[in-house]
Amino acid sequence: MADTAIGVEGAHKKYGERAALDGLDLRVARGTVHGVLGPNGAGKTTLVRILSTLLRPDGGRIEVAGRDVVTDAREVRRRIGLLGQHAALDEELSGRQNLEMFGRLHHLGARHARVRAGELLERFGLTDTGRTAVRAYSGGMRRRLDLAASLITEPEVLFLDEPTTGLDPRGRAEVWASVRSLVGGGTTVLLTTQYLEEADQLADRISVVDHGRVVADGTADELKTLTGGDRIDVVLRDAGQLGAAVALLPLPAADISVDADRRLLSAPVVDRMAALAGVVRALEASGIEAADVALRRPTLDEVFLHLTACDDRTDRTKEAV
């Protein structure tokens, strides 16, 4: 299909006896950002390495930019950019030397490669350190240079494998801003992450991956409704009145959760507006003072825990989530 940038059907990959990908399916529409969300060991890196022709799949049909990654690897390589989980830079060379080298290997020609290197250094705020050996770079600078290197040719499809893992909040914000600016240019982005917030912030659609297969996918909003829809949060001025409020508010008492430290009372709702109006009226009538009343969607954390709890198996490595 012409509007499909990445098509994966039944991808399998084993390391010895261990299945890293176990029949994974994925379709990413051209020009969109797709988040692949999963805990450590879910198979994210294996997927990205197969999509970027670094690893040969054991089975399945896998196409990137309309080309088969096994039989047409070179044509795939002309159209992709890769930001791997670990820096893929020549540590002994300077940032500028790295970018010029990659430009030449993309056959831009010597002059064009030089100009492009200068542009990218400028864009990623690395002009001042362009002559320093990468070995002396900080983690954030390295990540930015790595991202610049994956953008040498303005790729059709860009793979970002945990682009912000290990970065401080500022570094993370910089990478997010760069990814957002790419999307305007029509690049298709596949981004893996363990950070639910990151997928929520950047991705149009999300596939939740666990044990080498997709356990759920959809937009962030769609995924959130999977766990049972919206909630209402009521924060009281006086924690002593929480008990009274639970008894009195027009909410199903069995579903109300109470957090005394935050003076918070929270419950799922079906009809958003009716529930909100009912709660406000009941509070006014009873004279219980509220600091805040708000409707909210569940967080992606709640979704993720819900999904992976449904699909639990024994050999999980969950500690990093």
Partner 1 sequence: MSTYVLSDCWTMTRRELAHWARQPVQVLVLLVFPVMLLLMFGYLIGGGRGVEGSYVDFLVPGMLALTMAFGLEGTMLAVTQDLNKGVIDRFRAMPMANGAVLVGRCAADMLQSAVGLAVLISVGHAIGWRTHGTPGAFLGAVGLLLLFRFAMLWIGIHLAMVAGKPEMVQAVQILVWPVGFLSNAFATPGSMPSWLGTAVEWNPMSQTATAVRDLFGGPGGEPGHVGAAVLWPLALVAVFFPLAVRRFARLSR
Rounded to an integer, what distance in angstroms lies between the CA atom of residue 30 and that of residue 8?
14
Q: Decide: 280 and 248 in contact? Cβ < 8 Å.
A: no
Exactly one of 18, 56, 237, 272 binds partner 1 (CB under 8 A); that residue is 56
Residue 46 as a binder of Mg ion (CB under 5 A): the answer is no
H helices then E strands: how many in the chain? Answer: 11, 14
Residue 45 as a binder of Mg ion (CB under 5 A): the answer is yes
Residue 41 as a binder of ligand ADP (CB under 6 A): the answer is yes
Which range of residues in 22-30, 41-49, 176-184, 236-244 is near Mg ion by CB under 5 A?
41-49
Residue 318 as a binder of ligand ADP (CB under 6 A): the answer is no
Which residues, 6+ apart, have CB-to-CB distance to 114 below 8 Å? 100, 103
Closest Cα partner for 165 from 38, 313, 302, 20?
38
Q: What is the dihedral of CA 107, 110, 111, 115, to 10 degrees?
A: 70
Neighbours of 317 (CB within 10 A): 10
Residue 132, contacted partner among Mg ion, partner 1, ligand ADP, none, CB below 5-8 A by kind? none
Residue 206 as a binder of ligand ADP (CB under 6 A): the answer is no
In residues, how long is the chain?
321
Element spanning 6, H or E: strand 4-15
Residue 86 as a binder of ligand ADP (CB under 6 A): the answer is no
Residue 238 backbone dihedrals phi, psi, to 5 degrees: -125, 115
Residue 229 backbone dihedrals phi, psi, to 5 degrees: 75, -160
Residue 56, contacted partner among partner 1, ligand ADP, Mg ion, none, CB below 5-8 A by kind? partner 1
Q: Between residue 147 and residue 186, which ones bind ligand ADP under the rule CB under 6 A?
A: none
> Binding residues for ligand ADP, how many (CB under 6 A)?
11
Which range of residues in 39-47, 175-183, 263-271, 279-287 is near ligand ADP by CB under 6 A?
39-47
Residue 40 as a binder of ligand ADP (CB under 6 A): the answer is yes
For residues 120 and 251, which CB has a smaller minimum distance to partner 1 in the complex?
120
Closest Cα partner for 47 from 11, 6, 83?
11
Which range of residues in 1-9, 104-112, 120-128, 236-244 is near partner 1 by CB under 8 A?
104-112
Residue 207, contacted partner among partner 1, Mg ion, ligand ADP, none, CB below 5-8 A by kind? none
Give the binding site for ligand ADP (CB under 6 A). 15, 18, 20, 38, 40-46
